[in-house]
Structure 1
Amino acid sequence: MERRSFLKKAAVGATIASAAAPSVSEAADALPSLNWRLASSFPKNLDTIYGAAETFCNRVKELTEGKLNIRPYAAPELVPFNAVLDAVKDGTVEMGHTASYYYYGKDAAFAFDCAVPFGLNSRQQTAWMLHGNGMKLMREFFADHNIVNFLGGNTGTQMGGWFRKEIKSVEDLKGLKFRVGGFAGKVLAKLGVVPVQVAGGEIYTSLEKGAIDAAEWVGPYDDEKLGFNKVAKVYHYPGWWEGGAQLSFYVGKKEWEKLPKLYQAAIETASLEAHLNMQAKYDARNPSALARLNQSKIVLKPFPQTVMEACFNAAQEVFAEEAAGNPKFKKIYTDWVAFRQNQTTWFSFAEDTFSRFNSMHKLK
C-alpha cells in the first residue's frame, strides 16, 4: 500500500472512531448528579480536623466536575459527635467523618482504625493501613456494619491534656473526672480515673464549671482555639493513648456499591489528599501555638515516669482481656502488634537516633 493511501484511510478511520466514541465531557454528562450529606464528629471552628471534611468534599466535587456534591455538617447539626457510625450504618446520611475509637463501647476493635494506647505513630499507622494488613482487616470489620472506611486524616502524637491540678503520682489519678474515652478510658479506669465523654465543643464549659477535672483533645493548635488554657493551667504530655490518631471517612456500603467507578475513584483520591493535608497542617501549626500557650503562663510538664509505667502496665492488661474475649479484636490485634514490633525496631535505629540528636542540640 502506498504511504499516501494508507494515511488517507487512517485519517478517515480516526474520524469515524472519534465520531462514534463519546468525548470525556460527554461521558461525564452521562453520569448521575448526586447530593450527599456527610456528618462530622467535630465542631466547625476547628479548621484542622473539621476542615479535613471540607477539603475532602471540595476535592470530590472538583474530580467529578460537580456531579457528586457532598455537603459536610459539623457536630451536632445532624447527629451527636458519637452517633456518626450509626447514622451512616442506618442510612440516615451517606457519609461520615469521625474518630473510630468513639465506638469502642460497641466493639473494642474499632480503636485500631484510630489509635490505641502505646501504639503506632502517625507514619506507622498510615503504613499499616496502606502497606500492611490494616486496611484489609478494617474493611472486613466494617463490612459487618455496612460501612466502607477510608483514611481521613491524622493528628500526629497528641498532648496529654489540660488539668486543674498537676499529676505528680499515680495516687493523683484516683477519682479524677477526665474527659477521655474509648480504650484510654478503660485503661485509666483501672487506675481510679472516672472517664467522661464530652463533645469537643462542650469541653471548655465542662472544665469551666468544674463538671470535669481534666480534658484531652488534640494538641496546641486546636486546644488554643478552644481556649482550654483559660480554664485549666496544667498542660501534661504525651497523650500516650494517641501516638498517631487517625480519622476516617465512612461511606454506607449500599451507597458505595451504587456509585459509578469514577465517583469511587474520586472518593479514594480525595480521602488520601485530606489525610495528608490534615497531618501537614497540624505539624505546621502546633509549634507556634505551643509557644503562644507557654506565654499565657501555663504549667507545661510531662507525666511522671511512674504514671507512664502504671498506664503502660494497665494497657497491657486491657489488651489481654479484650483479646481473650473478642475474636475480632484478637485477629486484628495479632497482626497489629507484630507490625508495631517491626516498626519499633526499625525506628529505634535511624529515626529515633536522628530525633534524639536534634532534640539534644535544640536546633535553630
Structure 2
Amino acid sequence: MDRRSFFKKAGAAGAGAVAASALAAPAIAQENPKVNWRLTSSFPKGLDAIFDAATEIATSVSEATDGNFTIQVFAAGEIVPPLQAMDAVATGTVEMAHTCSYYYVGKDPAFALGTAIPFGLNARLTNSWFYQGGGNQLLNEFFAGHGVYALPAGNTGAQMGGWFRKEINTVDDLKGLKMRIAGLTGQVLEKLGVIPQQLAGSDVYPALEKGTIDATEFVGPYDDQKLGFYKVAKYYYYPAWWEGGPTVHAFFNLDKFNNLPKSYQRILNDACALANTNMLAKYDLRNAHALKQLVADGAVLRPFSQEILEASFNAAQELYASIMASNASFKTLYESQQALKRESYLWMQLAEYSFDTFMMLQQRAGKL
C-alpha cells in the first residue's frame, strides 16, 4: 500500500467515513476545509535526517487531503530563531513547529522529559512510553499549560558522547572542562566540574578550533560528519548517556489543533508517527557508514570509563531528587518513565540483550 493510500484511509477512518455518494457537496467541503499552516523547524536544511521529517509530515498531510490541508515548512531562523520555535507556536505566530521539548527547560525542567534526560529511556522504550505507556497523554497534560499540543515526530536513537580536544579518562579530567552542552545534562556535568557552555550551532566549530571550548556534543556520526568536528577535536566519545533515545516533537498551537476536523487531527497523528519511524530508520542506516568514514579521517573512538558513567549516574539521581521535591509535573513524568524502565529492562536483558550480544560477536568474528 503506498503512502497516499494509507493516509487517505487513515483520515477516512478518523472521520468516521461514509460512502461519498451519500454526502452532498456542501458536507464534503465542510469536512475537508482548506487549511494553510506554517511550520518552523529548529533545524537547518543541511541536517537532512532531522529536518526532512518536517517536510515528510507536510507531504503526507497534503497527499492525504488532496491538497486541502497544506503545511509550509521553514528552516531554523527563517521565521524565528531555532530555540524559539515552540514559543512561536504558543503565541500563534505559526501554527506548528518541529523541535525538541528539552530546548525549553528554562521554562520548566519537566520539558526535558519530552525529549531525553540523562540515563533515561532508549529509543524502543521511549516509543513504548509514548504510544502504549500513557506518556503522550501525560506530556500533553503538561504541555496544555503552555498552550501547545505535541506528537512524537522523530527519534535519533542513542547518540554519541561528543568530541573532545583531549582524552577524558577519569572524573578528574572533567574538572574545568568547557563543554558546549545545555539543559539538565549541563547541570549534571556541572556537579562533576564541567563548565557548561551554551552556543548556537553555527558558533561551535570556530569555538572548538580556537580552544574557546574544549568539547561539544551534537547527535551522532551522520550529522557530526557534516559538521566537521573531527577536524578540530579528534577524540570521539560514546555513549551519550544523556540521550539514549531522544524524541523530536511536532508542536501545534493547542487551539488551532483542537479546531481542526477530527479527520485532519488523525491525519496529522499518523503523519507524525510515520516521520518518527522514518527518522530512526535513517539514522540506523546512515550512522554506520558515517562512523567508518570518520575513523578513516582521523577520529579516535573512546568509551566513557565506568568511573565517569557511575559518577554521572549518581549526580543525575541527586539532581532529579532535588527537582522532584518542588516540581510536581517533573515528578509525575519522571516516575512514569522510571516505572516502565524498571519493568522493561527485566525483559530486554533476557531476550534483546542476549540476542544482540551474540549477533555482535558474530559480526566481530567476520561471520556476518
> Do they fold alike, i.e. is TM over 0.5?
yes
Partners of 1:358 and 1:97 lie apart in 2 by 36
Partners of 1:29 and 1:136 lie apart in 2 by 29
Please say if 1:82 is aligned against 2:83.
yes
Q: Which moved more, 1:92-101 or 1:197-206?
A: 197-206
Task: Specify the code of the residue in structure 2 equivalent to 1:73.
Answer: F
Task: Specify the code of the residue in structure 1 equivalent to 2:23.
Answer: A
Mark the structure with the bigger radius of gyration.
Answer: 1
Partners of 2:192 and 2:283 lie apart in 1 by 31
Q: How many residues align?
A: 347
SS at structure 1 position matched to 2:48: coil
Q: Give the aligned partner of residue 139 of structure 1.
A: 140
Partners of 1:202 and 1:344 lie apart in 2 by 39
Work out whether residues 121 and 244 of structure 1, in 8 Å CA contact, stay in contact via their aligned partners in 2.
Answer: yes
Q: Give the aligned partner of residue 7 of structure 1.
A: none
Alpha-carbon deviations, 1:115-172, whole Å to 9, x = none? Answer: 1111111010000000002011001000101111101100000000011111111111
Work out whether residues 43 and 201 of structure 1, in 8 Å CA contact, stay in contact via their aligned partners in 2.
Answer: no
Q: Give the aligned partner of residue 111 of structure 1.
A: 112
User: Judging changes above 3 Å, is the alpha-carbon distance between structure 1 residues 233 and 194 closer, same or farther for their aligned structure 2 residues?
Assistant: same
Work out whether residues 128 and 134 of structure 1, in 8 Å CA contact, stay in contact via their aligned partners in 2.
Answer: yes
SS at structure 2 position matched to 1:345: helix
Q: Alpha-carbon deviation of 1:20? A: 5.8
Q: Alpha-carbon deviation of 1:28? A: 5.0
Write the mapping of 1:24-103 to structure 2, written as runs, cut at 5 A. 27=28, 31-103=32-104
User: Judging changes above 3 Å, is the alpha-carbon distance between structure 1 residues 18 and 127 closer, same or farther for their aligned structure 2 residues?
Assistant: closer
Task: Specify the code of the residue in structure 1 equivalent to 2:76.
Answer: A
Let me know the Cα RMSD of the aligned residues.
1.7
Q: Alpha-carbon deviation of 1:31? A: 3.0
Please say if 1:208 is aligned against 2:209.
yes
Q: Alpha-carbon deviation of 1:76? A: 1.5
Q: Give the aligned partner of residue 259 of structure 2.
A: 258
SS at structure 1 position matched to 2:248: strand
Q: TM-score, normalization: structure 1?
A: 0.91
SS at structure 2 position matched to 1:172: helix
Task: Specify the code of the residue in structure 1 equivalent to 2:101.
Answer: S
Work out whether residues 96 and 250 of structure 1, in 8 Å CA contact, stay in contact via their aligned partners in 2.
Answer: yes
Work out whether residues 43 and 200 of structure 1, in 8 Å CA contact, stay in contact via their aligned partners in 2.
Answer: no
Partners of 2:215 and 2:93 lie apart in 1 by 34
Task: Specify the code of the residue in structure 1 equivalent to 2:24.
Answer: P
Task: Specify the code of the residue in structure 2 equivalent to 1:357.
Answer: F
Partners of 2:124 and 2:107 lie apart in 1 by 27
Q: Give the aligned partner of residue 5 of structure 2.
A: none
Q: Alpha-carbon deviation of 1:32? A: 2.6
Partners of 1:19 and 1:303 lie apart in 2 by 64
Stretches of structure 2 lacking an aligned partner (at least 5 in a row): 1-18
Task: Specify the code of the residue in structure 2 equivalent to 1:152.
Answer: A
Q: Which moved more, 1:130-139 or 1:190-199?
A: 190-199
Q: Give the aligned partner of residue 223 of structure 2.
A: 222
Q: TM-score, normalization: structure 2?
A: 0.90
Q: Alpha-carbon deviation of 1:197? A: 2.0
User: Judging changes above 3 Å, is the alpha-carbon distance between structure 1 residues 72 and 199 closer, same or farther for their aligned structure 2 residues?
Assistant: farther
Alpha-carbon deviations, 1:71-130, whole Å to 9, x = none? Answer: 111112111221112111111111011111111121111111111111111010000000
Q: Give the aligned partner of residue 21 of structure 1.
A: 23
User: Judging changes above 3 Å, is the alpha-carbon distance between structure 1 residues 192 and 26 closer, same or farther for their aligned structure 2 residues?
Assistant: same
SS at structure 2 position matched to 1:137: helix
Write the mapping of 1:1-364 to structure 2, written as runs, cut at 5 A. 21-22=23-24, 27=28, 31-361=32-362, 362=364, 363-364=367-368
Q: Give the aligned partner of residue 11 of structure 2.
A: none
User: Judging changes above 3 Å, is the alpha-carbon distance between structure 1 residues 212 and 30 closer, same or farther for their aligned structure 2 residues?
Assistant: same
Task: Specify the code of the residue in structure 2 equivalent to 1:292.
Answer: Q
Q: Alpha-carbon deviation of 1:247? A: 0.6
Work out whether residues 42 and 200 of structure 1, in 8 Å CA contact, stay in contact via their aligned partners in 2.
Answer: no
